[in-house]
Structure 1
């Protein structure tokens, strides 16, 4: 006799017999038990990819063994909306074995994730067989107990991992709400400070010193974020791990940018009428500062640089924690530096625009090192070099 597909029935059953003998639910079955089971089976049943084998709530009237392919177990949420995958079953596993115990409705739907084949065991036929201590039905129930125990362990592991992930997401949301609150407070503080600066500019010629309380306020906000965060301070760059290497890298990475600053100044004094006649290296003489004052201001700038980097990179690290896109590191660098550049508007719009590209570079160094050391060193070097040695006119 030839079954659909062209293979003799005995040969087909021999192939299926071999495959079924490896199914965990049939562990301990003798060849006779397998033959008894094959005698009441339907199949092989071909199930195309995407086809539902049975729906949730359908009658549990059959047990299935997967010969090839794979199936996903789906559960609809309480509102009857989206389907959620509970498990992925592959060749050698069984589907719907709980029907052996209660014949109740299906607790979930099962859908083929690829072209698959199954063998079906109608529960009614199985129970029509004579009851004996070692019959097929009894062996299936015993093995099913072991299989369900194994699945329960796997389910517990998945549940724990899911709960851990949900807890982490909840912590992220809490931290994000704190961060947004502090960010909004900081922006409001800055807007008021900007108004005060505008009023003072009419009576005070140099308002650059107002940067100190403004940046200190922002630094305090970052400090509170780090202090109350569930993540370690190293997440925000507060670490001395490999500080010598990071500092040296900060110096080396500053060299090409310093050369670029010199080139830009040379282009400016060569081709721009407003800058013609100025030296490439100004040493802050155009500001009227003495050498002692230059050293004093340069030292103060270097001392204050870590605070500036704490603000910018602390904000960058927070964004990087909360953003979820593929390019979250780049987005965090851009967002944090847009905010940081805006905090220089009270000095001059030229300075705010000039800070942005440098901030992107220092943000890249921070993302590369995971430390404030390298970006702070580079910031101090390039800031002093650009403002006081070359004398880039940004004020």
Structure 2
């Protein structure tokens, strides 16, 4: 093999000589990559004569766990995965300028893991016998290799540290979400208990205004607690659907799904509730403060049910079906909160909750569910249906 050090560097170099010089320079560049050590060009060109070029196709095995550590690979291009064959876990992925199998080659111990090419790989094979022969006359090679090994181990440690911090953060968020889930369940039970005891008594005495303001006060109280919990859990406003992305499409879809529901309410109104026969479809007398402020009530309820509760369940549950399961579970839980009014309202809350939950997941935006909730809730009030639901 012709040494690159004696090649003629001029206009009369042959193609073979040019390619050899280019490969020698690339080898030096890759061997020194990730280190700050300085080595003479002649020294590196001499070492280049002790290595051979190699190519691996994607998926090809480079060595197996337990094999004799007879060589190392210096990667020129491509990626090599080092993995544990028993578990299949990836231990590291090495790329451009990395040494693979160098520790075993130096120590002589069997391979501690397996390696395969993730993509087509081009590089150089450094045989253990050639390495030791070259090292016997040039001990500075050990310094070069140990510097490169140190640089690679430092980079690996940095990546492992980042992964560890990310896992710790994920673990903290998981436990915080679990705590929030339990808290929400307790709050739901307290809300249902208060509704059954206090609001039931107020309804019996026809204290409609007091029922309205008591319910709003309880929702605000729950909202303040949940807002603090969301901050602790690391839920962002984007997680909870409070964002501009898909805003127009979410609102448009919220209006669109409300139209057939409005038509059904108008058509079946007197068939389902004969007591409404002869009454106007829309009763102006029902235009009270609750109708005008219901946009705030709908927004608060949707944020609690969809933005916080549904999102928390979806993040806690495993499996690909967790979004659908989160929609059903959150809708079931919140439909029970309407049982103190009537079973009919609980069913309506379940069905609409599933629809609004699906709409929320489709666009990850609360605007559509809030608009639809506002439209249908007020329509039920103005048509006189809400008063029947409240009375059982």
User: Match for residue 315 of structure 1?
Assistant: 309
Q: Does residue 122 of structure 1 match 2:115?
A: no
Give the alignment of 1:86-235 within 5 angstroms.
86-90=91-95, 93-99=98-104, 101-113=106-118, 119-129=124-134, 131-132=136-137, 135=138, 138-139=140-141, 141-186=142-187, 188-189=189-190, 204=204, 220-221=221-222, 223-228=224-229, 229-230=231-232, 231=234, 234=237
Q: Does residue 22 of structure 1 match 2:29?
A: no
Query: Greater shift after overlay, 81-90 or 28-37?
Result: 28-37
**Which of 377, 385, 394 is matched with 2:379 structurally?**
385
Distance 1:144 1:36, change over 3 A: closer
User: Match for residue 65 of structure 1?
Assistant: 74
2-side partners of 1:30 and 1:200: how far apart? Answer: 93
1-side partners of 2:239 and 2:22: how far apart? Answer: 58
Q: TM-score, length-normalised on structure 2?
A: 0.67
Q: Secondary structure at the match of 2:288?
A: helix
2-side partners of 1:253 and 1:41: how far apart? Answer: 66
What's the CA shift string for 1:56-109, capped at 9, x where partnerless?
A: 6x5544222347764211258xxxx62432222346543122356544454543
1-side partners of 2:64 and 2:309: how far apart? Answer: 51
Unaligned runs of 5+ in 2: 1-14, 34-38
User: Match for residue 331 of structure 2?
Assistant: 337
Distance 1:334 1:31, change over 3 A: farther
2-side partners of 1:162 and 1:18: how far apart? Answer: 38
2-side partners of 1:233 and 1:128: how far apart? Answer: 60
1:181 Cα deviation (Å)? 1.9
1:170 Cα deviation (Å)? 1.0
2-side partners of 1:166 and 1:148: how far apart? Answer: 27
Distance 1:129 1:375, change over 3 A: closer
What's the CA shift string for 1:188-220, capped at 9, x where partnerless?
A: 44675687699979x948799879767866764
1:347 Cα deviation (Å)? 1.8
Q: Does residue 85 of structure 1 match 2:90?
A: yes
Q: CA RMSD in A?
A: 5.0
2-side partners of 1:211 and 1:276: how far apart? Answer: 23
Distance 1:278 1:319, change over 3 A: farther
What's the CA shift string for 1:37-66, capped at 9, x where partnerless?
A: 54x55774868835350416x554422234
Q: Is the contact between residue 50 and residue 111 of structure 1 (CA under 8 Å) also seen in structure 2?
A: yes
Distance 1:191 1:182, change over 3 A: same
Q: Secondary structure at the match of 2:126?
A: strand
Unaligned runs of 5+ in 1: 1-10, 285-290
Q: Secondary structure at the match of 1:263?
A: helix
User: Match for residue 358 of structure 1?
Assistant: 352
Q: TM-score, length-normalised on structure 1?
A: 0.67
Query: Greater shift after overlay, 26-35 or 94-103?
Result: 26-35
